[in-house]
Amino acid sequence: MKRYLIAFFLIFSLSAFSQNFEGFKGYVITNNHDTIHGTFDAISNIFYKNIFNPARVRKVVKINNNAGIVTKYKPNEILSFLVYKPRGEKDYKFISTYRDNYKRFYHEIAVGEISYYKIYDQDMNASEIYDEIFIKNDNIQEVTMFSYRKDLGELIKDYPELYSKWIDGNKFYKTYETELVISLYNEYFKNK
């Protein structure tokens, strides 16, 4: 029985690592506004290479352009990069910004009156550990776990209906619905 379990584990492990995977399609926009199309690698789950893991994007990204040349980029060398729908979901866009002196890549979640970004600091493969950053009126606001509802509430106070629903999280919006709340806020001010 023990030999069967070991054999099963070996076959499973080898099949997971031997998948024919060519990378994630996308592009990079350089500081000169040139667009370089290609495939990204090394930003996948370590066990399943065809699963995109945004938590693996931090300070360097590698792209293999259509000519077969692999180039590494740091946040200060590019404006942004985009990975096309890696799991059949929406595209993943990452930007670099002067706000942190181009030290890290920011995962762009929403852009508008309030812009919403995630910064991945650690990679646990099973889950994504990140900080959430909000930018309103060119001021950057990092919210903490301990005062999340209050901190985000301060940013949306000028939309009283949404603010009251956000603060009353028992009946309305939960903290995992942040993207929806920011989208509603941005839509409200886009129409004003």
Q: Which stretches of the chain are assigned E, i.e. beta strand?
A: 24-30, 35-40, 61-65, 70-73, 78-83, 92-95, 106-110, 114-123, 128-136, 139-142
| Interval 26-84: pLDDT, tens | 999 999 999 999 988 766 666 666 777 777 787 888 888 888 889 999 999 999 999 88
Does residue 158 belong to any structural domain of this protein? no
Highest mean pLDDT among 33-42, 163-172, 178-187: 178-187
Domain contains 63: yes
Q: Is 161 a member of any domain?
A: no
pLDDT in tens, 110-130: 999 999 999 887 655 545 677
Q: Answer whether residue 102 is part of any domain.
A: yes
The per-residue pLDDT of the chain, averaged, comes to 81
Q: Which residue in the block uniquely carries the two structure tokens 């970004």?
A: 117
CB 63 within 8 A of CB 38: yes
Confidence tier at 164 by pLDDT (50, 70, 90): very high
Distances (CA, A) of 110 to 12, 14, 41, 44, 72: 39, 39, 25, 23, 26
* Mean pLDDT value across residues 148-166: 94
- What range does the domain containing 71 cover? 22-109
Q: Which pTM value belongs to this model?
A: 0.78
Does residue 69 lie within any of the structural domains? Answer: yes
Domains contained in the chain, number: 1
Rg over CA atoms, the chain: 20
Instruction: Retrieve residue 17's tokens.
Output: 């690592």
